[in-house]
Structure formats: structure tokens, C-alpha cells
Structure 1
Amino acid sequence: MNEKKIDLSAFCMRARGFLSQGRSDDALGLYGDVIHIDPDNALAYADRGTAYAMLKKFDMALSDLERAFALGYADASAYSTVATIYFELKQFPDALKYFAQAIGLDPSYPLAYYNRSNVLHELGDDNAAIADLEKCLGFEMEEDFKRLILSRLDLLKSQQ
């Protein structure tokens, strides 16, 4: 007997709405409900992991995001989230590994280059950090983000 899988992505979208409203407990509860119904729901694990990351609950975030990856979830922003967690934990080699995976999935994802430049700077490789920031400038982006990149670029160049 073939059991048809229920599409629970609408519930994940609703949980994202809760997060945007600052209702993290409601979002986490809804993600938990989705995972309870479908323990192999990669989107719910990825989204809940991202929510935990936003709340600085890094162990739970990494656990959920790694579960999502194991289930086949492949999204540059999720890999970038894991990389950012490792950056905040000062585990720079892991951060670089996950930023490389994010960029491999979406080479036009400027936030991955921007955040990777911070890791490279922390490791003392300002030339590579500058190269990542300059790469960002080749992508379409909002003016505020562009100003942030240019400011960071000026700062790094002035320190050389």
C-alpha cells in the first residue's frame, strides 16, 4: 500500500510568519508539530534550526540543520546559517567549510561572501577577505547592503 505524504510546507510558512512577528515560541511549537507528524520533514528541521540560530541556541540549531542536510535539504542560506554559527563559536575552519558549501550551492549569494570575509579577516587573511567583499559588489543588492560592503571594504583596505 502506497501512503501519500502530506505536504506540510504551508505550516512551515505560517511558522515563518510567526517568526517575523517575533512569536518564536509559536513558531517553534508549529515546527515541532510538523516534525511530530512527519519526522523526515527536512524543511521543518531547516527552518526550526534557523529559528534556534536566531535565538542563539546553537546546539539545537546545529542539530536541526544537520538533520535537514542528512534528509537532503540543500539551501545556501541554511549552510550559511551553520557557517555563521561556527563563526560565532570561533570555530573558523568549520565556518569556512560551510560557507564554501553555501557558495557551491549558490555562487551568487552575496551574504555568504560577505560573512566569509569576516572569517577570513579573523584568520588574518585580509587579501582574501577583501576579494570576497569585492565579489559581493558584482551582485544585485539593496543600497543599504552595498553601503555596508563598501564601508567594510574601506576599513579593511585602510588596515593594510
Structure 2
Amino acid sequence: MKTVSLIALAVLALAQIATAELTAEEAAEQQELLAWARTLQLQARDDQALGVCDMILQVDPESADAYLRRAMILLGESRFDDAIADLDRALRYRKDDPLALAARAHAWTAVGELDRGQSDARRSAEMAAASIAAEAADAIDYYARGLARVLLEHREALQDFATAASLDEKLVEAHVERAHIFVGTGRLEEALGHLTRAVETRPDYAVGFLSRAHVHYEMSNFQEALADCDRALQINDHYARAWHNRGLINVQIADLRSAIQDFTQAILVQPGYASAHYYRGEAYLTLGNVASARADWETASEVAPDEWAGQAAAEMLRQLRQQQGEAAD
């Protein structure tokens, strides 16, 4: 994992520079910490990545980059309202930033604010296009326009992501976005190729390996999917979603005992993981362990009553009670 010098950490933790302009050295240290936060995010260590962003903002509460990075992490966790708040702050300190606008467009869309999402997407595309026309664009401008064009259903989104990747080979997110488009159109082999490029570029990209595992799963390449989950877990053995998805693959190949172990690990890493409780309950029931299945479904229905896993668990409990009532009769 990328490390940051103790001197940089000490400066950012102790210096009282919130109201002063950053020196060149302090700005460089901030960029180093931002790069570290991105590395942690790629490794699915979101709590640590958020902590690094918080550290930066304690020292420099007007850091648009830190708000933007924190928002991108929050988007990955589906914490859309929090992400929107951070993106508002980023745009306060860096007006009309194309990437912040594109990210906020996706957040607005996710919470059902479609008009706001389209407005931000159009503005993002316009601002990126202005930089491109002025020959002042970098990879992020093309990447941002690609994100905006996805929402605008513009056929050139793929080309924007390709250009972004060509300008900055380390921008693995551009490969992932191309893969998402190909998955959405059923072109799984092409999606697989782009995800492979992403993880070859960043061998510590746990999130990328799990994304590739999903595509392998959709293609019924179950052993390859398991191998990619294993790679993700080698990078970060506290990656709850990787344990969860590994469990789903083991269910598919009828290795229920391994699936139960995987779901258990997911729950240990992330207590209250409703989906893991639901699927572990199904596996227990298939193996004839009704009591354990009931316990898992009770937990899922309690911790996530408004989510699909909690509602599905409540339905399974209802069916269990009905069956037990019929047996008693």
C-alpha cells in the first residue's frame, strides 16, 4: 500500500493553516495524501480513505480536491445525499468543475432528481468541451465528459473514456466506465477486456478484480469469478462485498458450506450485512438447518426492513410460519 511520510502526516495533522494559503510544500503534501486516499479507495478501504480526506479538510477546509475525492468514495457506498453535500462544497471552491458536476449529476439521478441530474450533466459536458476546444484539456476533462454523456445517452461517451485512458494510463476508472457500458449492452467479452486492462495497470485494484468477477459470473465462468474474488481478498481481506459475492458464486456451484463460510466472513467484517444474512439463511435452509435460517432472516428483516434483503427475509419468515402452522394441523 502507498505510504505517506511521517513528516507529511505531522504537518497536516498539527499545522494550523486553515485560514492561510498553502505553501508549495504543503500543497505537494496534500496531493500526496489525496493520491493515498485514491489508492485506499481502489483497494476498497473506504473508511481509511474517508479518514485521509477528513484529515486534509481539517487542515484545509476549502480543498475542492478533498471534497471531490470524499464524494467519489461516498458515491461508491451509495451515500448519495452525503456525496451531494460534498460536491456542493467542491463546486463552491472550484466553480463549474466538470468532474464535480458529472459526479453530482449521477448522485442526483440516483436519488430520483432527474432534472437536476440532466442539468448538471449538460453543464459538465459544456465545461469539459470548452477546455477541449481551448486545447487545455487533460484526461480528467475527457473522463468527466464521458460520465456526463452516459447520463445524456450520448454515443460518444465510450470515445471520451478511451481518450481519457490514452492520456493517463493510470486512470483505471476510465477502463471501468467503458466496461460498464459494454455490460449494459451485453458485450461481456469487451467488458472483460477493459477490466483486465484496469487490473493489469493497478494490480492492487481490489474493486476492479471484484468487478471482473461479476462479469465472469454473468458469463458462467465460475472458477474465474472465484479466482478474481480471491485476488480482491488478497489485497483486502476486510472487503465485505468480496466475501459476499464469493458466497454467491459458491451457491451457484452448489458448494453451500463454503458459501456459508463466505457469508459469515462478510458479516464479521460488516456486521448487519442484510444481504449476507439473507443468502446465508437460504443456504442454511437448503442444508436443513431451519433454526439458523430463521435467525439469519430475523436479523436481515430487523436491520434492513426497507431494503430488498430485509423484505425478502420477512417473506421467508412468513412462509416458514405458514409451513409450521400447516404441519401442526
- Which TM bucket (shorter chain)? 0.7 to 0.9
- Match for residue 300 of structure 2? 136
- Number of positions where the alignment pairs a residue of Structure 1 with one of Structure 2: 157
Output the CA distance in 2 between the equivalents of 1:74 and 1:26. Answer: 30
Q: Which runs of 5+ in 2 are unaligned?
A: 1-34, 40-169, 325-329
Q: % of aligned pairs identical? A: 27
Give yes or no for the alignment of 1:106 onto 2:270: yes
Output the CA distance in 2 between the equivalents of 1:159 and 1:70. Answer: 43
Give yes or no for the alignment of 1:94 onto 2:258: yes
Output the CA distance in 2 between the equivalents of 1:56 and 1:64. Answer: 14
- Match for residue 76 of structure 1? 240
Paired AA for residue 26 in structure 1? E
Equivalences for residues 12-91 of structure 1 within 5 A: 12-72=176-236, 74-91=238-255
Change (3 A) 1:106 1:22: farther
Write out per-residue CA displacement over residues 98-118 of structure 1, whole angstroms, 9 at most, x where no aligned residue. Answer: 001111121122110000001
Report how far residue 73 of structure 1 moved: 5.6
Once the two structures are overlaid, the 10-residue window that deviates more, 42-51 or 14-23, is 14-23
TM-score, scaled relative to structure 1: 0.83
- With a CA cutoff of 8 Å and minimum separation of 6, indicate the structure with the bigger relative contact order: 1
Change (3 A) 1:92 1:13: same
In our comparison, the structure showing a higher alpha carbon Rg is 2
Output the CA distance in 2 between the equivalents of 1:22 and 1:109. Answer: 30
1:152 maps to which of 306, 316, 319: 316
Change (3 A) 1:142 1:105: same
Change (3 A) 1:21 1:42: same
Paired AA for residue 117 in structure 1? G
Output the CA distance in 2 between the equivalents of 1:158 and 1:116. Answer: 21
Report how far residue 35 of structure 1 moved: 2.5
Output the CA distance in 1 between the equivalents of 2:258 and 2:173. Answer: 30
User: Is contact 2:251-2:259 (8 Å) kept?
Assistant: yes
